[in-house]
Amino acid sequence: MWLHYGIIFYVLSTGIIFGRTTQKRMKRNTYFILTFGMFTFLSALRSSHVGNDTSAYIRIFNDITMTGDISRYSWRYEFGYLYLNKLLSILSSNSQIIIIVTSILIMLGFARFIYKYSNNLWLSVYLFFTLGYFGMSMNTIRLNIAIVILLFSYDFIKKKNLFKFIITVFIASMFHRTAIIFLIAWLIVKFKFTYKTISVAIVGSVGIYLLFPRILQTILQFFPTYKYYLGSSYLDGNTRLASVMNFLVGLSILIFGGFTNYHNKNICTCSKLNSKNGAIVNDNKNMLLFLLVGVSITFISLNFSLLDRVGEYFSVFSIVFLPNALKSIRDKNIRALLSFIIIVLFFVYSTTIQIMRPEWNVIYPYQFFWQIGS
């Protein structure tokens, strides 16, 4: 747990020195190297005991290295991830290579997204850690590769390039099949964040929640790979605490964003990525709509807790939206007070999870791969 506290202190202290967006680019670049360099180091060099699924991923790599056969895993794992294993097994038979390469891909993806879209860098990095995305990246590798690819696909939503957007989402689905749902993002951004939109989301969420057992059977006809979850703990109600907490946190961020009226401020976070016709792209509104969808999916996941992972494709935008919404508040005193409150609340949130539910990601006690057996 001391590592947990140390990372939080490190992210905040380096943020004070280097991470403010008003500082020169070199200092901001230094902040990203210091923080995401540290995240990459810890993720890439972790042992098989760090992360619930790390040992399983290492076992798959070792098996593919020995046999050269990926077909035996094709029913369970996506071809993109399997071929990545096969390619890396040609380069090295050391299983740590799959952990190192995937860690670099994931951390670069998150770093790029935050650097490009956040107006409040240090707080976005802080939320990346305290909202659990760093811990999750060491557990659900395939899901996180899909997430960072989808974050990249947002560039094509801004450019209104449908073809490249579809291709990018398809590539993401080659690492996690459920990523295909992000295709609806193209339609979502065409809506406005109004009371009518919120009402439709609420009614739709409640309706799907009530009809979920029937809907799940239909979904499994298209995704038979996930039939093994039937009868598992994900459907027995015992794992709903995570979904409840994710729902409440997402809802709180959504409400805060709505009250700041940030989504009605026509600011393009990255002006170089405007659409072809030169129209201003409202990132604020788009990301708030994504959060609304993410919260809706997380609510539905109270029926099937694993579904909250699908919600992460949309909820992940909160690590940029919340800091940007806070940054838009003109009163410096109010902004400083709210920043302090956010820091404290998410510190309590992340620490409580590590103390009360350490089995969710199994990060601590942290161990480097060379420490196994020592």
Do the domain assignments include residue 214?
yes
The answer to which of 145-159, 283-297, 344-358 has the lowest mean pLDDT is 344-358
Sign of CA dihedral 284, 285, 289, 295: positive
Do the domain assignments include residue 284?
yes
Do the domain assignments include residue 202?
yes
Instruction: Determine what percent of the chain is predicted with pLDDT higher than 70.
Output: 87
The residue among 243 and 143 whose pLDDT is bigger is: 143
Q: What's residue 154's pLDDT?
A: 97
Whether the per-residue pLDDT at 359 is higher than 70: the answer is yes
80 near 110, Cβ under 8 Å?
no
Do the domain assignments include residue 292?
yes
Instruction: Report the pLDDT averaged over residues 240-263.
Output: 84
pLDDT band at 214 (very low <50, low <70, confident <90, very high): confident
Instruction: Report the pLDDT averaged over residues 196-213.
Output: 90
Q: What's residue 83's pLDDT?
A: 95
Pair of tokens at residue 60 = 């798959």
pLDDT band at 271 (very low <50, low <70, confident <90, very high): very low
Interval 44-90: pLDDT, tens: 999 999 988 899 999 999 999 999 889 888 888 899 999 999 999 99
Phi, psi of 46 (to 5 degrees): -70, 155
The residue among 224 and 332 whose pLDDT is bigger is: 332
Instruction: Report the pLDDT averaged over residues 331-353.
Output: 92
The residue among 21 and 55 whose pLDDT is bigger is: 55
Q: What's residue 270's pLDDT?
A: 47
Q: What's residue 243's pLDDT?
A: 78
> In the 8-state DSSP scheme, what is residue 137?
H
CA distance 71 to 263: 47
Task: Region of 261 please: left (phi>0), alpha (psi -120 to 50) or beta.
Answer: left
Interval 119-150: pLDDT, tens: 999 999 999 999 999 999 999 999 999 999 99
Q: What's residue 304's pLDDT?
A: 75
Do the domain assignments include residue 278?
yes
CA distance 43 to 365: 14
| Domain count for the chain | 1
Do the domain assignments include residue 265?
yes
CA distance 83 to 79: 6
Do the domain assignments include residue 345?
no
Whether the per-residue pLDDT at 269 is higher than 60: the answer is no
Name which of 118, 97, 107 is nearest 28 in CA terms. Answer: 118
Instruction: Report the pLDDT averaged over residues 336-354.
Output: 93
Q: What's residue 275's pLDDT?
A: 52
Interval 142-165: pLDDT, tens: 999 999 999 999 999 999 999 999
The answer to which of 26-40, 82-96, 273-287 has the lowest mean pLDDT is 273-287
Pair of tokens at residue 244 = 């409840």
Q: What's residue 75's pLDDT?
A: 81
CA distance 223 to 314: 21
Q: Which single residue is written with the structure tokens 């999870």?
A: 353
Whether the per-residue pLDDT at 341 is higher than 60: the answer is yes
DSSP string, 4-40: HHHHHHHHHHHHHHH--TTS-HHHHHHHHHHHHHHHH
Q: What's residue 276's pLDDT?
A: 54
| Domain span at 256 | 191-328
pLDDT band at 373 (very low <50, low <70, confident <90, very high): low
Do the domain assignments include residue 165?
no
Q: What's residue 27's pLDDT?
A: 81
Q: What is the 3-state secondary structure (H, E, C) of 298-361?
A: HHHCCCCHHHHHHHHHHHCCHHHHHHHHHHCCCCHHHHHHHHHHHHHHHHHHHHHHHHHCHHHC
